[in-house]
C-alpha cells in the first residue's frame, strides 16, 4: 500500500478549477518531484494532501494518506497524521515560523504533542533536532526567527517539519526564497535527512535541475493537470508533453551555456 | 534591494526609539504622580474627607494646599481621593473590556461566517452609540455607584476591543505560520494561546492603554452629570461640577481637578505611545 495515494483530486475555488483530476502515488521511502510553473496547482496539491486547504477552496476525489481518507475528513481525524505521517516544509521560512516564538519552542511543540516528550527529554530532543539540521550552537534554541539568516531559518523550519518524525516530507519549493549558495546547503541537508530517516519525499519545485537532483520520479503539472509522469530518466530523456519538452530544453540550454566558455552564457539566457 | 531598505530602517530606528523612550519616561512620570497620590491617600490624608473645619472657599494656603470648597472641605484631600477613584475605574473598566472584548473578538474571528456576521453587526451597533450614552443606560438600570460606572464603561468599551481583536486575529490567522502550526497537528486552542494571542498582544496592549485614558475621562463625565460615584466619593468629575458655580471667585477648585485629569490621561496616552516599541520583540531586539 502506498503511503500517499492521490486519485482524481480536484480542487476548485468557486467556478475556477485549481487542480484538475490529478492522480499520483508515493510509496514509503520513495522520492517524487512535482514540477510546474507558478499557478499550476503544485502548492494547492500539497495542502490538499494534508487537508489544510483554505475554507474558500473545495476538494473532491480521493487522497489516502497512510490509509486515511483526507478529503472530507474532520480536523480531529487528520490531526494525528499531521506531523507523524506527513510534515510540510514551506517556501518562505520567515512567514512559516511564528515571529514571536523562540525557535526551540517551535521545534519542541510537535515533539511534545506527538512524541509525548517532556522536561529534559524534550530539551535534549530539541537540541539534537537542531544539531541534525546543522545548527549545533545551543543558543539557536533561544533565538527568535528574525535573529537568524535565511538559510538558518530554513534549517529551523526543517527541524520543525521533521520534529514529529514524519514518514513523508512534503517540501514546497523549500529553496526558492534562498540565495543560490544557501540553496545548495539546504538541498544537501534535505537529501541527507531523507536518506538517513528513510522518509518518503514529495518535492515541489519549478526547477527541473533541482527536482532531478532530489527525486527519482517526476510528476509534471500544468494549469492544474498532471500532464506527464515518469522516472527522472524518462522525463529528461524523452519528454512527451510540449511543456515538459520546453522545461528540458531550457535546462539543457543552461547546461551547455555553463559548459561553453565565456560567450556561451548570454546564449543560454536568450533561449530561456 | 530589501537589504537596503532594512538598513535604512535600522539607521532610522535608534533616533525614533530614543524619542519613544523619552515619551515613555514622561508618560510614566505623569501617571506615576497620580498613582503616588492614590497610594498615599490610602495611608494618609491631610484632613478627614468630610472635615468641614476649613472655612468656605478659602484660597490656597499652608494649611490648605489647594484651598477649600464651598462646604469648607480641604480640596487637596478631595483630589487625592479622586485619584483613587479615577485609577480604580480605569483599571476596572479596562480589565472588563479586555476580558470580554478579547473573548468575543476571538469567537468572531474563529466562528462560521454567519456567527461572525451577526456578532460583527451587533458590535457595530454598540460602537455606533457614544460610550457615555451606553454608560448612562447602564447607570439608569443599575443605579449610580462606582461599580455601575465601571460596569457601564467596561461594557461599552468591550465592543471596541472585540472589533479590534477580531480584525487582528483574522489577520494573524491568514499567516503561513498558522498553517505551518496546523501541519504539525496543533489544536485550535493551541493556535489561539501560543500563536494568535502573542501576536496580537502588542497592538492590543497599546490600544488598551489608550482605552484607559478614555475610561478615566468617561468616568469624570458621568460624575460631572451626577451619574458616577455618589458623594462622599470625591470623583474629579464631581469636583469639577461642584466648582462650576464658584469658578470666578475660586478658580482653583475647578482648575485643580482639571489639571489632575489631564495629567493622568496624557500620562497614560504617552505610555501607550512609548510602549509600542518595547512590547514587540521583533522591534526590541533588532540591531
CATH number of domain containing A251: 3.40.50.300
A81 contact residues in B (CB cutoff 8 A): 185
Q: Is residue A233 part of a domain?
A: yes
Kindly indicate whether the ipTM for this predicted assembly is greater than 0.90, answering yes or no.
Answer: no
Question: What are φ and ψ of residue B72, in 5° steps?
Answer: 90, 15
Using CA atoms, how far residue B250 sits from A58, A207, B65, B236, B244, in Å, is 73, 83, 14, 16, 10
Q: Return d(Cα A65, Cα B147) in angstroms, integer.
A: 57
pLDDT band for A14, please (50, 70, 90 cuts). Answer: confident
Mention every residue, 6+ apart, whose C-beta is less than 8 A from residue A93: A145, A150, A153, A154, A156, A157, A177
CB contact under 8 A, B282 and A114: no
The model's confidence at residue A141, banded by pLDDT at 50, 70 and 90, is very high
pLDDT at A262 over 80: no
d(CA B1, CA B250): 65
Does a structural domain hold residue A155? no
Using CA coordinates, name the residue in chain B closest to A97: B177
Cα diameter, chain A: 61
Residues of chain A found within 8 Å of residue B186, distances taken between Cβ atoms? 109, 113
Give Cα B223 to chain centroid, integer Å. 17
Whether A159 and A118 have beta carbons less than 8 Å apart is answered as: no
Instruction: Look at residue A117 and tell me if it is in a domain.
Output: no
Q: Collapsing DSSP states into helix, strand and coil, what is residue A213?
A: helix
Q: How many residues does chain A have?
A: 272
Q: Which of A86, A96, A105, A169 should be substituted to probe chain B, the one whose Cβ sees the most B Cβ atoms within 10 Å?
A: A96
Q: Is residue A267 part of a domain?
A: no
**b/e burial code for range A125-139 (CB count within 10 A of at least 16 → b):** bbbebbebbbbeeee
Mean pLDDT of A206-211: 90
The answer, yes or no, to whether the previous bond of B232 is cis (omega within 30 of 0) is yes
Q: What is the average pLDDT value for chain B, to the nearest integer?
A: 86
Residue B80, C-alpha cell as written in the block: 487625592
Residue A105 located in a structural domain? no
Residue for grid cell 481518507 = A69
Beta pairing class for A217-222 and A200-205: unpaired
Q: Quick check: B185 and A164 CB within 8 A?
A: yes
Which of A98, A145, A154 would best serve as a mutation to test chain B binding (most B beta carbons within 10 A)?
A98
Q: Domain B86-228 belongs to what architecture?
A: Orthogonal Bundle (1.10)
Smallest Cβ distance to B185: which of A101, A110, A147? A110
Mutation for testing the A interface, residue in B116, B175, B177, B186 having most A CBs under 10 Å: B177
* Residue A108 in domain: no
Which stretch of DSSP H or E encloses residue A8? strand A4-13
Element (H, E) at A59: strand A57-65
pLDDT at A136 over 50: yes
- The position carrying cell 475647578 is B254
What average pLDDT does the structure give for chain A? 90
Number of Cβ within a 10 Å radius of residue A259: 9
As a whole number, mean pLDDT of residues A195-204 equals 95
Residue A203 phi/psi, 5-degree rounding, is: -110, 115
Q: What is the pLDDT of residue B180?
A: 92
Contact A109 B194 (CB under 8 A): yes
Boundaries of domain holding A57 = 4-94+168-260
| A149 in any annotated domain | no
Indicate the pTM of the whole model.
Answer: 0.82
Q: How far is A132 from chain B (nearest CA, A)?
A: 19
Asked whether residue A231 is assigned to any structural domain, the reply reads: yes
Cα(A80)–Cα(B237) distance, rounded to whole angstroms? 59
Can you list the residues of chain B whose pLDDT is less than 50? 1-14, 285-287
According to DSSP, residue A38 is labeled: T
* CA geometry: angle B153, B220, B67, nearest 5 deg: 155
DSSP structural state of residue B1: -
Dihedrals phi, psi of A5, to nearest 5 degrees: -130, 105
Q: State the pLDDT at residue A270.
A: 45
Amino acid at each position: 500500500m502506498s503511503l500517499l495515494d492521490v486519485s482524481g483530486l480536484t480542487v476548485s475555488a468557486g467556478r475556477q478549477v485549481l487542480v484538475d483530476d490529478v492522480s499520483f502515488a508515493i510509496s514509503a521511502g520513495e522520492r517524487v518531484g512535482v514540477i510546474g510553473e507558478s499557478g499550476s496547482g503544485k502548492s494547492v496539491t500539497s495542502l490538499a494532501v494534508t487537508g489544510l486547504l483554505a475554507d474558500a477552496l473545495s476538494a473532491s476525489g480521493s487522497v489516502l494518506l497512510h490509509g486515511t481518507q483526507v478529503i472530507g475528513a474532520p480536523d480531529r481525524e487528520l490531526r494525528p497524521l499531521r506531523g507523524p505521517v506527513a510534515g510540510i516544509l514551506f517556501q518562505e521560512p520567515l512567514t512559516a515560523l511564528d515571529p514571536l516564538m523562540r525557535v526551540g519552542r517551535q521545534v519542541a511543540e510537535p515533539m511534545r504533542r506527538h512524541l509525548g516528550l517532556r522536561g529534559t527529554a524534550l530539551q535534549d530532543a530539541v537540541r539534537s533536532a537542531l544539531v541534525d539540521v546543522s545548527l549545533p550552537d545551543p543558543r539557536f534554541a533561544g533565538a527568535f526567527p528574525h535573529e537568524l539568516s535565511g538559510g538558518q531559518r530554513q534549517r529551523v523550519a526543517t527541524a520543525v517539519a521533521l520534529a514529529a518524525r514524519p514518514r513523508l516530507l512534503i517540501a514546497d519549493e523549500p529553496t526558492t526564497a534562498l540565495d543560490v549558495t544557501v540553496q545548495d546547503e539546504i538541498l544537501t541537508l534535505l537529501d541527507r535527512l531523507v536518506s538517513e530517516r528513510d522518509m518518503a519525499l514529495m518535492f515541489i519545485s519549478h526547477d527541473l535541475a533541482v527536482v532531478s537532483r532530489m527525486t527519482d520520479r517526476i510528476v509534471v503539472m500544468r494549469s492544474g493537470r498532471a500532464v506527464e509522469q515518469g522516472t527522472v530518466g524518462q522525463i529528461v530523456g524523452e519528454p512527451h508533453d510540449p511543456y515538459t519538452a520546453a522545461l528540458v530544453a531550457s535546462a539543457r540550454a543552461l547546461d551547455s551555456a555553463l559548459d561553453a566558455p565565456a560567450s556561451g552564457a548570454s546564449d543560454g539566457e536568450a533561449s530561456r | 534591494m530589501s537589504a537596503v531598505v532594512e538598513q535604512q530602517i535600522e539607521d532610522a530606528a535608534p533616533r525614533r526609539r530614543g524619542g519613544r523612550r523619552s515619551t515613555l519616561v514622561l508618560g510614566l512620570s505623569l501617571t506615576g504622580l497620580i498613582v503616588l497620590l492614590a497610594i498615599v491617600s490610602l495611608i494618609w490624608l491631610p484632613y478627614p474627607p468630610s472635615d468641614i473645619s476649613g472655612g468656605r472657599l478659602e484660597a490656597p494656603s499652608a494649611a490648605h494646599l489647594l484651598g477649600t470648597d464651598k462646604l469648607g472641605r480641604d480640596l487637596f484631600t478631595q483630589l487625592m481621593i479622586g485619584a483613587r477613584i479615577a485609577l480604580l475605574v480605569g483599571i476596572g473598566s479596562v480589565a472588563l473590556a479586555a476580558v470580554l472584548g478579547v473573548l468575543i473578538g476571538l469567537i468572531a474571528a474563529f466562528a462560521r461566517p454567519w456567527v461572525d456576521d451577526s456578532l460583527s453587526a451587533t458590535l457595530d451597533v454598540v460602537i455606533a452609540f457614544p460610550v457615555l450614552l451606553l454608560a448612562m443606560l447602564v447607570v439608569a438600570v443599575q443605579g449610580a455607584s462606582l461599580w455601575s460606572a465601571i460596569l457601564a464603561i467596561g461594557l461599552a468599551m468591550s465592543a471596541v476591543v472585540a472589533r479590534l481583536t477580531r480584525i487582528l486575529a483574522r489577520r494573524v490567522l491568514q499567516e503561513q505560520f498558522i498553517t505551518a502550526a496546523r501541519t504539525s497537528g496543533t489544536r485550535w486552542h493551541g493556535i489561539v494561546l501560543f500563536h494568535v494571542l502573542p501576536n496580537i498582544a502588542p497592538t492590543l496592549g497599546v490600544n488598551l492603554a489608550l482605552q484607559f485614558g478614555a475610561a478615566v475621562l468617561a468616568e469624570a463625565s458621568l460624575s460631572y452629570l451626577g451619574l458616577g460615584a455618589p458623594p462622599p466619593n470625591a470623583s474629579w468629575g464631581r469636583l469639577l461640577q461642584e466648582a462650576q458655580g464658584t469658578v470666578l471667585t475660586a478658580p482653583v477648585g475647578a482648575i485643580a481637578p482639571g489639571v489632575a485629569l489631564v495629567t493622568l490621561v496624557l500620562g497614560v496616552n504617552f505610555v501607550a505611545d512609548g510602549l509600542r516599541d518595547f512590547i514587540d520583540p521583533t522591534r526590541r531586539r533588532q540591531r
